Structure 1
Amino acid sequence: MNWQTVRKVVKTKRFQACFVLIVLAALVFFGRDHLHFIGDGWRELQDADFRWVLAAIVLVGLSMMAQAEVMVVLLRTAGVNVKRRAVNVLGLAANAWSSSFPGGPALSAAMIFREQMKWGATPVIASWYMILSGALAGAGMAVLALGSVFFLGLTVKPVTLALSLVGLLALAFATNWVAKHPEQVEAWLVARARAFNSWRNQPEDRFTPAIESFSDQLSAVELPLNKLTAAIFYSMMNWALEIACLLACIMAIGGEPPIAGVVLSFLASKLVGQAQITPGGLGPVDVALTTTLVGLAAMTSVHAFAAVLVYRMLNFFGLTLVGWLVYFGAKLAKPVLDTEPLHSDEAKDSSAA
């Protein structure tokens, strides 16, 4: 079986349907030790105030839209004409991959990188987006943490929390300088490459064409102040809406915690979930969120656990389910066009016919 035949098989609806079943089976396998969580969460949802649950659903949807808007702003600034609908579909699908498997964020990042390349982004632009969006998220967390600590009256070293903000500004300044001075960057890189080639006794200009191609892409990563402000705003809104979703879930079970305590609890759970040794951090994240709600938000353990169950049912299970439906819907609904050129034998057959 040659490569062309393999590609045709992969594009068939039957293969895609089998892939769906394999992924669903994998999800059940990875989550087999936590299936009781779904039952517990469903019972809490049934007992919760429907109005607050509905508000939480709206808020989690808006948070995903804000996250997608960060990508829209950054890619359009770099000259990639992306459609907002496609970015939102990618955001939901990537979130499903990220939350469904241990180490899912790496799979999600690879998917985003690949899709951005299909939209016309260069490797430089796609990499620039990954770095800058991560810096924006870190800076947003630092701002929220600093504000929460201030309102709770806790003692903290402001320098520690300000590092993310300084790093973001330094990154924005560096990318803008590079975008405005590609010739200087190219000259420096060529000089370093020639020195390396001379040391290895290789042709002097071995890497020069690649460096010239790379430097031609650098001018696209300039980020004007108004675009940087918009990206920061949407990144902050993503965090704020997620926290508001958690607060709505707490209100749904009758809790009335201090907002600052909820913010710190949310951020603590996010830090715990970075490792993601289980799908979506299931287990460690829930324990961290429950214990911090008790310690920082003055909630009882019963109320905290119930609120976490409701929140995770919406923000984890619900959002992951929607993401997979969107992912497979986009895959199966997309018409498959065979644009591959015919082989010589196939061309002869078709001409003979």
Structure 2
Amino acid sequence: MTANGDPAGEPAPRASTVEQGRRKFWWVKWLLGAALLALLIGEGVYLWPRLHESWRKLTEIHWGWVAACIWLQALSMSGFGRVQKQLLHAGGVDVSQRKSVAVVYGATAMSVTLPAGQVFSTAFTYRQTRRWGASPIVASWQLVISGVIATAGLALLGVGGALLVGNQVGPFKLILSLAAVAALIWAGNYISRNPGSLEKVLRRLLALVNRVRKRPADHGMAKAAEILAQLESVDLGKRDGVWVAGWAVVHRFADVACLGAACYAVGAEPKLAGLLIAFTAGKAVGSIPFAPGGIVYVDATLIYGLTAGAGLPAAQAVAAAFVYRMVSFILVAIVGWIVFAFLFRTPSADEVAYEKEFETRRTL
């Protein structure tokens, strides 16, 4: 390092080169901003004639279905709390369901309301699991596995929706679905018996990707090896695995049912296949951290999915998306911050140490 903080041996004008590159592409952010503005204007023009009818749908809302929507969302959150609880149990950490769900609510509130909320929520979950007695390896393993389970569940919902398109399941689709499940089970068993095989596959894939990106063949392998080590660090037994899978199903299907209840609350009768696809698309788009909670683009995705896939008129789709987002986004965030204020607002003595530990492991 030089006295100015620059790496020794690096050419001095490196920073100016970066600045020149930024000035060269100054127009990109303006172009993206203009495109987003045009999208919002276009969406407003498209939806404006239907907003009055959507408002009428909301004034005629079926409150029984709204109550069901809220209950199903609470069940979904509780299901994910059970997943977290069971994973920690597999790692030798016993925690009550109440504490686990409280952390899920707090982490979700951070994730959907704060800029870079996913980072804050992950760090928050890591700190709490460490306070419960989990080792750094178990705490990291739980985060990785729960993320894998959530992603896999979402992917299976999307595949299920695609297979159900047409409102019928023929023999070919049924055989294809069973074959896919059997393949996943076989792959899981094979990897558990041959843990080195997954590393070989990842190494080949990374080499291929790095070749396309013109980077060293082993670029990113250290991080992949660390994740694999975390995956293999705790043995998820059959009993725990069954419970985790079961509660993961509850978590996802209760959330889908929440969206369905929101549709019925405004008098709509969505098609199951379209409902699954709209839900999957909305959740997938929501993982892109453009704005807290995916405001605007998640709503637009849900409205389009419900209209194009689930067969809802535009007015009902807007109203249903509004009800669902009020419950799954706004209400959950409010409850999460209330839980955080009452249970987690006061920092513990080891909070700073766990924060530094998390940052160290995240940047490895």
TM-score, normalised with respect to structure 2: 0.64
**Contact 1:77–1:227 under 8 Å retained in 2:** yes
Structure with max Cα Rg: 1
Partners of 1:226 and 1:133 lie apart in 2 by 17
Q: What residue is the counterpart of 1:105 in the other structure?
A: 118
Deviation at 1:102, TM superposition (A): 3.0
1:120-153 Cα shifts (integer Å, max 9, x gaps)? 1111111111121122112212322222222214
Q: 1:99 to 1:165 in 2, by over 3 A?
A: farther
Q: Where in structure 1 are there 5+ consecutive unaligned residues?
A: 1-32, 34-39, 182-214, 339-353
Partners of 2:182 and 2:121 lie apart in 1 by 25
Q: 1:223 to 1:287 in 2, by over 3 A?
A: same
Q: What amino acid is aligned across from residue 318 of structure 2 in structure 1?
A: F
Match of 1:148 among 136, 140, 161: 161
Q: What amino acid is aligned across from residue 239 of structure 2 in structure 1?
A: N
Matched, 1:232 2:256: no
Matched, 1:131 2:109: no
Partners of 1:226 and 1:72 lie apart in 2 by 13
Matched, 1:115 2:99: no
Match of 1:330 among 340, 343, 351: 343
Q: 1:319 to 1:173 in 2, by over 3 A?
A: farther
Q: 1:289 to 1:309 in 2, by over 3 A?
A: same
**Contact 2:141–2:231 under 8 Å retained in 1:** no
Q: What residue is the counterpart of 1:48 in the other structure?
A: 61
Partners of 2:248 and 2:241 lie apart in 1 by 10
Q: 1:173 to 1:294 in 2, by over 3 A?
A: same
Divergent runs of 4+, >6 A: 40-44, 158-169, 175-178, 217-220, 334-338
Partners of 2:139 and 2:177 lie apart in 1 by 29
Deviation at 1:277, TM superposition (A): 1.0
Partners of 2:178 and 2:337 lie apart in 1 by 36
Q: What residue is the counterpart of 1:307 in the other structure?
A: 320
Q: 1:1-353 alignment to 2 at 5 Å? A: 46-153=59-166, 174=191, 221-331=234-344
Q: 1:175 to 1:108 in 2, by over 3 A?
A: farther
The number of residues matched between the two structures is 262
1:270-325 Cα shifts (integer Å, max 9, x gaps)? 11111121110011100011011111011111110111011111111011001001
Match of 2:245, SS state, is helix
Match of 1:243, SS state, is helix
Deviation at 1:47, TM superposition (A): 3.6
Partners of 1:74 and 1:308 lie apart in 2 by 32
Match of 2:344, SS state, is helix
**Contact 2:64–2:265 under 8 Å retained in 1:** yes
* Fraction of identical pairs, as percent: 33
Partners of 1:233 and 1:55 lie apart in 2 by 21
Q: What residue is the counterpart of 1:194 in the other structure?
A: none
TM-score, normalised with respect to structure 1: 0.66
Match of 1:275, SS state, is coil
